[in-house]
Amino acid sequence: MKNLIVKIIFIFIILSLLSCSKPPLVNSESYINNEFENVSDITTKYRIRDISYEQRNISYTGEGHFFIRRVDFNSNKGNYTTSYLIPGDKGKINYFDENKKLISRELKDGKLPLKTILIVETDKYSMILSQAYSYKDLGNGTKDSYPEIYPVEIEKQEGYWKVTYNYKNMKDYHGIMWGVGSDKRLVNLDDKNQRKIWSNYDISNNSRLAEDGYYYKSPDSYRPATENSFWRNPSMYIVQSWIKTGGSLAADILGRSFLLIGSDNINEEGYLPTLPESNWLKTDYDIGAGFFDTRFNADIGDTYLEAYKKFGYSKFRDSYLELANYYSNHIYKNHYKVFNTDGEEGWLVQDYAYKAMYKPTHVSLNHHIHAANWFLKMYEIENEKSFEDIGLKMLKGVKITRDKWIKTDKNLHYSYRPDGTMGGNDYPYLTYNDLLFFQKTYSRIYGKLDDDIEILMESKKQWMDNNGVVDYLKF
């Protein structure tokens, strides 16, 4: 297996060089990470005529490999073409159409479909292919996607299938290509649950995978933003599903690979910043670009925790502990104290922070209880009392203010404001799910449900039932 992976990567590089008429000016491996017994993580850099590229190859012994390449175009001359080989004599191409219907057809020479995940299965190998997207960096973690793309092409050769990518050379733009390969089946599309899961994975329209992480469609309120721009989202929504939902070798390989990539984005302060500027945060709280978002960081921190439990990689543990260290300091410095009639103190933690001066922010229930859950889960696995203290202090804040969160129509207020009033429109079911996850953790640790959280859930459930909301979690 290892020799096969090396052969494929070697062929990939050789064919890439043959696509240009001059030898590489630069050929260097930037690092090899052998921290984990079954993981090889190598980044290789090349410069060839009018293009330069950097490729990361992450191999998992006995499982498969992932690669991602960024190609920077240094001129407007011609096209960049590169190819690699997939072992096999016959096979099929699988993809989902715009109605999420699985299409499977015999593999033959020609162009592959656009705007969808491409899953190739031969009699010897399984491969997931990316589309050939091109981007321009706009700054602040934002990429503008060039609307015109060339379809990936495939051609039968003796004992192999040749996969070819084409990009238009455009100065200041770069192309992204990636793939996952294994001599085992990556996704069992015969399983209806896996078909449903993969039919919902969108890495073409609203989100993309790039060399430095997971990108999501830019909202109008972010700056910079264009009609076709994507911003690097710290929460990495699809990676959460690959780790927590899983169920396939592809999910395991992609999930681990993007958590390794994502760990490089933790800044010197110890958090994953939201790099664009948010118009409304700037207006309301004087918060600029690169701010700390408690939801995004608890999301990914919890994903690292679950990945550590699943795979045992110390790098994932290091990442969630580093994120927890910054998050803890934020909690200690940026919370509102609330007291019950017995003088007991609880904390409500502000949603955002910024490195420069800014105004105190609101506390949304979904951010707050989701983070409390994460801290209790870290206490459960680390047996670190300070994590428990934080989680219970945050819970106490919700318990003391329980009745204030409930609206007259049984819905919940979105947030606790800096002046102590409540307001905002809560999500249809997200907060309910967060409360449910909290109860699962709390009952696992303490052997019972929390009565006040249960009351909030019952109220939200009544509102959802009255308003036809059915997408909430039901376990």
Half-sphere exposure of 289 (CA within 13 A, CB side): 13
Q: What distance in Å separates the CA atoms of residue 469 and residue 425, rounded to the nearest whole number? A: 15
Q: What distance in Å separates the CA atoms of residue 64 and residue 76, rounded to the nearest whole number? A: 36
In Å, the largest CA–CA distance within the chain is: 80
How many CB atoms within 10 Å of residue 463?
Answer: 18
SS3 call for 456: helix
DSSP-derived secondary structure letter, 126: E
Question: What contacts 42, CB < 8 A, 6 or more positions away?
Answer: 29, 31, 32, 33, 56, 57, 58
Cα–Cα separations (whole angstroms), residue 321 to 21, 157, 337, 339: 48, 49, 25, 30
Torsion over CA: 219, 224, 230, 232 (sign): negative
Cα–Cα separations (whole angstroms), residue 46 to 11, 52, 56, 140, 174: 15, 6, 12, 26, 14
Structural domains for the chain: 2-263 (no CATH), 277-466 (1.50.10.20)
Whether this prediction's pTM lies above 0.85 is answered by: yes
What does the pLDDT profile of the chain (475 residues) look like in tens digits? 444 443 444 344 433 433 332 322 333 343 334 445 689 999 999 998 889 999 999 999 999 999 999 999 999 999 999 999 999 999 999 999 999 999 999 999 999 999 999 999 999 999 999 999 999 999 999 999 999 999 999 999 999 999 999 999 999 999 999 999 999 999 999 999 999 999 999 999 999 999 999 999 999 999 999 999 999 999 999 999 999 999 999 999 999 999 999 999 999 999 999 999 999 999 999 999 999 999 999 999 999 999 999 999 999 999 999 999 999 999 999 999 999 999 999 999 999 999 999 999 999 999 999 999 999 999 999 999 999 999 999 999 999 999 999 999 999 999 999 999 999 999 999 999 999 999 999 999 999 999 999 999 999 999 999 999 999 999 8
Question: Residue ranges of the alpha helices (H) in 121-200?
Answer: 192-199
DSSP-derived secondary structure letter, 171: T
Task: Return the closest-CA partner of residue 230 out of 298, 152, 134.
Answer: 134
* Helix-helix angle 385-400:451-466, to 10 degrees: 50
Half-sphere exposure of 413 (CA within 13 A, CB side): 19
> Which pLDDT does position 50 carry in this prediction?
87
> Which pLDDT does position 110 carry in this prediction?
98
Contact indicator for 82, 178 with CB cutoff of 8 Å: no
Contact indicator for 407, 456 with CB cutoff of 8 Å: no
Q: Please name the helix (run of DSSP H) or strand (run of DSSP E) that holds residue 112, with its range, or none.
A: none
Torsion over CA: 338, 344, 347, 348 (sign): negative
Question: What contacts 63, CB < 8 A, 6 or more positions away?
Answer: 38, 182, 184, 249, 252, 253
Contact indicator for 73, 80 with CB cutoff of 8 Å: yes
Question: What contacts 34, CB < 8 A, 6 or more positions away?
Answer: 40
Q: Provide DSSP, 207-224.
A: EEEETTEEEEEPPTTEES
